[in-house]
Amino acid sequence: MPSPVPYVVSASAPGKIILFGEHAVVYGHPALAVPVTQVQATVTVSSGSHPGVWIEAPDVGLSAELSSLQSDQPLAAAVHILLSDLGIYSTPPLHIQVTSSIPLAAGLGSGAAVSVAIIRALSIYLARTLPDSRISALAYQVEKLHHGIPSGIDNTVVTYARPVFFVKGQSLQTFHPKTPFTLVIADTGIPAFTKESVNAVHRLWQTDPARWEQVFNEIGGIARLARAEIEHGTWKVLGYLMDRNHALLQQMNVSSTDLDHLVTVARDAGALGAKLSGGGRGGNMISLVDSRQAAAVAQALQSAGAVRTITTTVE
Ligand code: PMV
C-alpha cells in the first residue's frame, strides 16, 4: 500500500517598495507602494515529528520550538497572533519553515512579508483560510510590536501584492499603471531602522507642527498627482515628482550621504528621477528609468557602491 502523502502547505509574499509618500503617510497623507516580486518570503507548514510548533528560519539562524521564543520575537508573534485570532490553543505537532530572499532592514518589507506568509500558510494548514483583509490586519498587529506606530502600508502591499494607494485607516485602494514603467532599486547596504527614523520625524514635527504639516501636505499632494500620472500613462513627469519628494525627505533629515550619492549617480546615469525609499538613513533608493537605460543605471549604481540593485517593472 502506498504511504499517505504528507500534508504540506506553502505560501509566499513579495517584497515591496514605496514610490512616494513615506513618513507623511504616518500623519494621514497618501502614499504609493508596489510589490517587488523579484524577492519573496516563503513559508512551508508541515506536520512535525516532535510535539509543539517548531520554527526554522535558516536565513536568520533560527531553529526553535515556539514556547522557547519570546512572545514578541517576530516569527513567534505572527504564529501567536494568528492562533489567538482563530481561538486555537493547542495544535498538532507542526514544522514551520521560513525562507526569504528579501534583504533585512532595507525598506523592502521583509518583516511584513514573512508575517503575511506565516499567517497565510498556517491558516490554510489549519483549514481556516482567511481573506486578505484579515491576513493584512493580523500582520499589522505584528508590525505594531516592532515599529511602534506603523502606517500599515507594508502589510497592505505585501498581502495584496498589487500597487496600492494607501491612506492610513482607509479601505484598500489599488491602482493600475496605464503604461508599465521601470524602476532600478539600489541598496546602500546600510541597515535602515524604520522605528528610529519615524521617531526622529515625530520629534521634528513636535518642534514646529505647522511647518512640518505643510511639508507632509506637499508630499501627500505629490502622491496624489503621481497616482494620476501613472493611471494616465504619462509617467515621464514622475521623475520630477520623485526628485521633489526626495528634496522634501532631505529637509526631514531622513536622507544620508550614501542615499544622496546614489540618487545623484542614478540621475547622472540617465534616470528620469530618483529618491530614497522607506524609512531612510540607509536602506534603498529608487530611480525611474526608461527601460533601455536600466542596465546602464544599475551598473552606475553598483560602481558607486550599491551592494545590490533590482530592476523591476511596475504593471
Ligand atoms: O522602511 P519601510 O520601507 O518599512 O517604510 C517605512 C515607511 C514609513 O512611512 C517611514 C513608516 C510607515 O509606517 O509608513
Q: Note if 154 is an active site residue.
A: yes
pLDDT, tens only, 146-185: 877 899 999 999 999 999 999 999 999 999 999 999 999 9
pLDDT of residue 200: 96
Query: What is the 280 CA–ligand 1 centroid distance (Å)?
Result: 9
Q: Is-contact 110 41, C-beta < 8 A?
A: yes
pLDDT, tens only, 144-153: 988 778 999 9
Query: What is the 55 CA–ligand 1 centroid distance (Å)?
Result: 27
Residue with cell 544620508: 256
For the segment 214-233, the average pLDDT, to the nearest whole number, is 97
Sign of CA dihedral 166, 218, 214, 23: positive
pLDDT value at 229 more than 90: yes
Q: Give the mutation target among 17, 19, 20, 22 for probing the ligand 1 site: most ligand atoms within 8 A of CB.
A: 22
CA distance 77 to 74: 5
pLDDT of residue 47: 93
Nearest CA to ligand 1 atom 13: 150
pLDDT band for position 236 (cuts 50, 70, 90)? confident
Mean pLDDT of all residues belonging to the chain = 95
Query: What is the 270 CA–ligand 1 centroid distance (Å)?
Result: 27
pLDDT of residue 3: 45
pLDDT, tens only, 270-293: 999 999 999 999 999 999 999 999
Query: What is the 17 CA–ligand 1 centroid distance (Å)?
Result: 10
pLDDT of residue 156: 97
pLDDT band for position 4 (cuts 50, 70, 90)? very low
pLDDT band for position 6 (cuts 50, 70, 90)? low
Q: Pocket residues for ligand 1 (CB within 6 Å)?
A: 18, 22-23, 25-26, 107, 147, 150-151, 153-154, 192, 194, 198, 278-279
Which cell numbers hold the place of 277? 525609499
Catalogue the long-range contacts made by 130-135 (C-beta closer than 8 Å, 24 or more residues apart).
132/159, 132/160, 133/172, 134/85, 135/159
> How many residues does the structure list for the chain?
315
pLDDT value at 5 more than 60: no
CA distance 77 to 58: 18
Beta-bridge partner residues of 312: 183
pLDDT value at 50 more than 90: no
Ligand 1 atom with the shortest distance to the CA of 168 = 14
pLDDT, tens only, 185-209: 999 999 988 889 999 999 999 999 9
Nearest CA to ligand 1 atom 14: 151
> pTM to 2 decimals?
0.94
pLDDT of residue 1: 43
Identity (one letter) of the amino acid at 63? S
pLDDT of residue 132: 97
pLDDT of residue 192: 86
CA distance 181 to 292: 11
Ligand 1 atom with the shortest distance to the CA of 17 = 3
Identity (one letter) of the amino acid at 177? P
Nearest to 146 by CA among 97, 81, 211: 81
pLDDT of residue 106: 85
Q: Which of 59, 154, 187, 258 is catalytic?
A: 154
